[in-house]
Amino acid sequence: MNKSIIAQRLKLARESVKLTQVDVYNRTGINNKTLSGYENDVSDPDLETLKSLAILYKCTTDYLIGHTHHPSLMFITQKETADHNKPKDLLKFLNESVVMFDGVILTEEDKEKVRKALELAFWDAKHQNKREKS
């Protein structure tokens, strides 16, 4: 039997922000057995719990319940707004952020594949630039 979209997204969202079930308990008071029940489709969280988890997981409740494929938040902190136009280190971004491609959150394995592809692309570009300068 397939897990519900809520169960799948709760686990994926938690993992995307690199939290364990114990971490969630420490931050929200939601028992890890209860959270495990949500993630394994044994029970569904109530609305207030869903809101708390969405905030903690930095996604929307619409994403968690399957109304959208886009987990992005509708609010941005002032620091994020101020930093918006600053150059960002791509590797650091991949390591520290929830990254999506075509509406799907990338797993750590997916991120590693992206890192390797970027390394190859930048290596290739660097060597091409050296050839053009010669």
- Give every CB contact of residue 40 below 8 A, 6+ residues apart in sequence: 3, 7
| Residue-averaged pLDDT of the chain | 81
118, pLDDT greater than 50: yes
Domain segments of the chain: what residues? 5-64, 80-133
Higher-pLDDT residue of 125, 23:
23
Tens-digit pLDDT profile for residues 41-75: 999 999 999 999 999 998 989 889 988 777 765 44
> pTM score, two decimals?
0.54
Residue 79 has pLDDT above 70, yes or no: no
Query: What whole-number distance in Å separates Cα of residue 129 and Cα of residue 134?
Result: 9
Class of domain 5-64: mainly alpha
